[in-house]
Amino acid sequence: MKIGVRPGPLHLNRDFAALAQWLGENDFDSLDLTAPDAEQKKALDEAGLVPGSFDCPSLGKLLTEDEGARKEAAASLKAELSQAAELGLKTFFACFVPVDKSASRAKTFEVWKTVAPEIVAHCESLGINLAMEPWPGPAPNYPTLGTTPEQWRAMFAVVPANALGLCYDPSHMARLGI
């Protein structure tokens, strides 16, 4: 087991290199990257840390009903994933939050089904695992997909790939009463 830190939610990424150095000096093992970024990867290497998961900024634009915007976001996301693979990164951290946070999960799931198979197939071709985070999303709608066992079963039925998995985060599951 490795002990690491996820910097984004804590706004610890203001000085990524300094954070990496401090973590390395204090017996941490890994640090998540806020993007597939060569400078962040270099900071990890210099601090003696291994990469945890990584984020892809284009993911936040992917789940939209606007087909043109969705195709553009998918192309950008695939480019970011390819860059991650070139850096040797292996675990893509994903919260499937729709662009329209008031959209129903059923509507968002229909959008997800149109784009997820190609994204997960691209991950699989690169040797990257996609780890769905069960964070329910922002209040008041809690629109994120992949947060309940029912949703997981439906998502895995659409994309039965080994590269699609869950990010085990018991804090969110407890919040959801699971």
pLDDT tens string for the chain (178 positions)?
A: 889 988 876 666 688 999 999 999 999 999 999 999 999 999 999 999 999 999 999 999 999 999 999 999 999 999 999 999 999 999 999 999 999 999 999 999 999 999 999 999 999 999 999 999 998 888 888 999 999 899 999 999 999 999 999 998 777 777 667 7
Phi, psi of 44 (to 5 degrees): -65, -45
**How high is the pLDDT of residue 137?**
87
The pTM score is 0.93
Position 120, amino acid: V
User: Please, what is the Cα angle at 119 between 169 and 112, to 5 degrees?
Assistant: 70
Position 73, amino acid: A
**How high is the pLDDT of residue 13?**
65
32 in Cβ contact with 52 (< 8 Å): yes
CA dist list (Å): 20 to 52, 84, 137 = 12, 18, 28
What the block records as the tokens of 42 is 């270099």
**How high is the pLDDT of residue 10?**
63
User: Please, what is the Cα angle at 9 between 97 and 94, to 5 degrees?
Assistant: 35
